[in-house]
Amino acid sequence: MIRHYSEFFQNTLTKLGFDVHGVWNTFDPPYNHDTGWPIKLPDIEFRASTLLVMHFQDFVTHKDGKILELEQVEQKYQQYANQVVVIYWPHNLKHYYTGPIKLIEFNVHEYQILQNLHVRWDEWRHMVSMPKTLAWQCLNGRMCAHRFQVKEILQHWPNGILSYHDAVPLSQWDYSTYQGTENEDNFIRLLDVYGSCAVNIVTETQYNTAPGIITEKTFMAMLAEQIPIVIGYPGIVQDCIELGFDMFTDIVDVSYDYLSNDQRIQHALETNRDIILGKIDLAPYRERLCAQREFLLDDYPTVMELRFIRDCEQLSNSNL
């Protein structure tokens, strides 16, 4: 049975004695680069057991040393801000914030996708036994500066599959068909791509600043038993390692991870050119690739739940 995150959050905190008021999708589009997300800020009466739980369902805005969305919450609730819990997606957001709001990490987006793909395993299980006949893939839907730079380099490299919006169309599925397609459906309809490519150059959603989000783009490379070369915000590879994932640092040079924005892409591709072009035998890594897929699909949602329960218990013991 697929477990909905809001019920899990509500039940976990209620069992610990909190009177929970949940805002399960706090951000209210459209996003503004200068001011951050508009936020739903309900008026509630705070009592001793009251806990306002706000789910930040997307990336946050880190600007001038502040997280703008958390600043909005603080300004609204002022002396009661310590009775507000924000459940967030970007890894280790608490490293960028020292105010009174309580923070708990939980990647709802991937939690739901993994549960859905687990239920649909029979639809895509054949992919993991497909022969890797191509060296690499790099799929880019939305146009942006860092993906353009990656495309400009990889378009000259052989033995791979590259797409970039409609400028470099994917022959299997035109990008114009993607709108309205769920991530799980898109993954399954691209099984021939994922199943045939050994390495996945993942151009993640965010690039310029941390903290950032780790999305289905990285997770689907792992589910496809591919070597991931993740190009995203500074430190994204280290964040993946901290979350428990195998980033194959014995064959992938990840020294690019904290380089400046104008160096990171070139360094990531050039220092890993041999593995991208299929010049390194990946047969010895098959067991680790399979173990990664099994961990992500079978165990990781439970790991996320257990971490959340642990953090809520610590919150309960902290005497708000």
CATH of domain 123-296: 3.40.50
Q: What is the pLDDT, as a whole number, of residue 254?
A: 98
Residues 6+ apart with CB under 8 A from 11: none
- Mean pLDDT for 92-96 is 95
Q: What is the pLDDT, as a whole number, of residue 130?
A: 97
Strand ranges for 114-196 from DSSP E: 134-140, 160-164
The full set of domain ranges for the chain reads 5-106, 123-296
Torsion of CA 189, 194, 195, 200, to 10 degrees: 180
Residue 165, token pair as written in the block:
């919006």
**Are residues 132 and 192 in contact, defined by beta-carbon separation less than 8 angstroms?**
no
Q: Is the pLDDT of residue 4 over 90?
A: no
- What are residue 302's phi and psi, to 5 degrees? -70, -40
**Are residues 204 and 257 in contact, defined by beta-carbon separation less than 8 angstroms?**
no
**Are residues 124 and 117 in contact, defined by beta-carbon separation less than 8 angstroms?**
yes
Per residue in 270-316, pLDDT (tens digit) is: 999 999 999 999 999 999 999 999 999 999 999 999 999 999 999 99
53 φ/ψ sector (left φ>0, alpha ψ -120 to 50, else beta): beta
Select from 124, 131, 133 the least CA-distant residue to 160. 133
Q: Is the pLDDT of residue 2 over 70?
A: no
| Single pTM value for the model | 0.96
Cα(254)–Cα(308) distance, integer angstroms: 29
